[in-house]
Every structure is written in C-alpha cells, then in structure tokens.
Amino acid sequence: MTIAAALILAASMDAIFRDYNQGAGTASVVIMRGQDVVFRKSYGAGATPDSNYRLASMSKQFTAMAVLTLEHEHKLSLDDRITKFFPEFPELGITVRQMLTHTSGLVDYEDAIPAGTTIPLKDFDVLWLLQQQNRTLFPPGSKWQYSNSGYALLALIVEKVSGQTYAHFLHDKLLEPAGMKHTLAYEKGISSVEKRMYGQPADQSLTSAVLGDGGIYSSVDDLAHWYAWLDHNPLYAEATVPRVPVEDSGPPLSGQPGSAVLHNSYGYGWFIGTQRGERAVWHTGESIGFRNAVLRLPDEHLTVIVLTNRNEGHPIDLALDAAAAIGH
C-alpha cells in the first residue's frame, strides 16, 4: 500500500469510527490483507490495539475449534450424543454436531435461570439447569435456532474429553500455537485480564462467567495472529463449510442498501453467506457492555475485526463500511 493510499484509508477509518472518539465507549479495529495488517487503530479514551475486550459470541469460534481439534485427535465424534459425556442428561437425541450448528433444540439456559438468582452462572450450572428440562424446543436436527446453551455444553465436553479445564485446553491447543499471548477464557479469581476494557455502562451479568458461549477476552492485535494462524489450519476450512441454512436471517445488517451480509448458512462457530456477491464468513458478539464483529471476505483475502465496549451499536456495519473503504 502506498503512502497516499494509507493516508486515504486512515481518513476513511477515522470517519467511520468518529462516534467512538466522543462520549462513552471505545472501539479497536484491525484490517488484514492476507497475513498482513494494513490498518490498526483504537478510538476513544484509554483504548489501544492491544486492549482486551470480552468477545461475547465471537468466543464460539474458539469453542468450535476446540471440539474439532478433539475430533481430529479421534477423542470424540461429532455424532456422539450428550449422554455419552454426561449420562445423567436426559436422552433427547442431541449430538455434538447439532450443538455446533445450533440445531439441537436445547432450551435457552437464560430462560431456565430461577427467579432471584444473584450468583453468576458457570458452564457447569448451565448443565445442571438443562438437565432439569427433559424437553427440547423442537426435534433435534429439524431446524436452526441460535443457541448459547449448546456452546456452554460443548465447553464442558472439551473438559470431559481432554481432562483439562476449558481455559487450559484453549491455551495449550489453540491460543499458544496461534501466538496469542494475552487472550484467555476469563475465570474470576483464577485468571486476570491484562489491559482490560470494561463494558459501558455495565460490564457483567448473570451469564458473563459462562465460558463456552462468550467468555473469552482478546484484543484486535491478538485476533490478527489468530486469523493468520487459522488460514493455515485445515480445521478452520472445515468450520467454515456451510452446514445448515439459517432460517430466520432477521433484519439487514447494514444501513447501506445492498451491502448487508446475507447470513444464509451456519458452519461450526461461523456464519457463512455473501456480501455483494462474494463469499463472506463472519460472526458478531453481543453482551452487556460489548458489541463486536469479525468479517472475512476470502475472495479478497480481507479480514476486518472490530471490538467495542459500548452496550449499543452494530459493529458488523462498521466492518462492512471498512471493507468497502479498503476496496479490492
């Protein structure tokens, strides 16, 4: 990229993210062309590209890769049922694959939290709550419905099969090999988050300690290492194969006519669709105090990562605008 092109890109990014230089909340962004970072900057007081944000549902890609790693090591099968790992769980016919693809029909664990609960849940608490349900929302495998419950159980399966905690397995098998020095599945009282960005206006909820569906903290700098590493990992190619149609795509993701990502399929921890006729792989993460997105356009070898600690906004729109600004 020439100096002139870099200056034009920087001006475009400053315009796209101008709202984060005003008021509450910050944003950090990295744009990659192939393995190379072509833009990195943070907006808002106190944020830097190595600041760590809670990824929320962007954590699901890590949980999916952990499960695929164990499958690759022949330690589990995607067609194994929950009851293989947790015999006390009701036999509902739910498989690992169905949890990965959000087709399990599991009850939303947030709907099962008893009234008056004040102590934050952990993944094991999710297992206990779901064991009491003895029902599914629909026959497993019959439709797609986004499920945090499935990914919480997948984290517990990783622990059961590997003999390690979810956090340690991620570190040893994924984070360290990818060169991610400051990313972790955060466990209060056990680990700490360096250069932590706290959510605005609030940071934690009853579900913030559940790891498998959304408990990882990372920075745009560390995530740049992750996506560079994934591009050489055959399991990522497996994770981003469209597996099931997404039946309810919801409202357009971008305010720009014709530019919205069409999330018409789900793989393992990733949405797969098209953006202006080109293949797009993406995921968002939303939790109290955080809104995040990653957008990958494989045909352009382009990756846009946006992490924010606001309780509002649509970072996927910002990622789409950033991708349009950098061009082909």
- Work out the pLDDT band at 1, boundaries 50, 70, 90: confident
Task: Write out pLDDT tens, residues 276-308.
Answer: 788 999 999 999 999 999 999 999 999 999 999
Mean of pLDDT values over 188-208: 96
Q: What's the confidence (pLDDT) of residue 248? A: 59
Structural domains for the chain: 3-55+179-326 (3.40.710.10), 62-174 (3.40.710.10)
Torsion sign, CA atoms 266, 267, 269, 273: negative
Average pLDDT of every residue of the chain = 94
Q: What's the confidence (pLDDT) of residue 257? A: 38
Give the E-state strand segments of the chain in sequence order: 27-33, 36-43, 53-54, 184-185, 216-218, 244-245, 262-266, 271-275, 278-287, 290-297, 302-308
Residue 64 identity (one-letter amino acid): A
Task: Write out pLDDT tens, residues 46-78.
Answer: 999 999 999 999 999 999 999 999 999 999 999
Using alpha carbons only, what angle is made at residue 37 by residues 33 and 39, rounded to the nearest 5 degrees?
A: 100
- Work out the pLDDT band at 163, boundaries 50, 70, 90: very high
Q: What's the confidence (pLDDT) of residue 262? A: 62
Q: Enumerate residues 6+ apart whose C-beta is below 8 A from 244.
A: 101, 102, 103, 144, 265, 266
Residue 95 neighbours by CB distance under 10 Å = 19
Task: Write out pLDDT tens, residues 240-286.
Answer: 999 999 975 443 344 343 445 666 899 999 999 988 788 999 999 99
Q: What's the confidence (pLDDT) of residue 196? A: 98
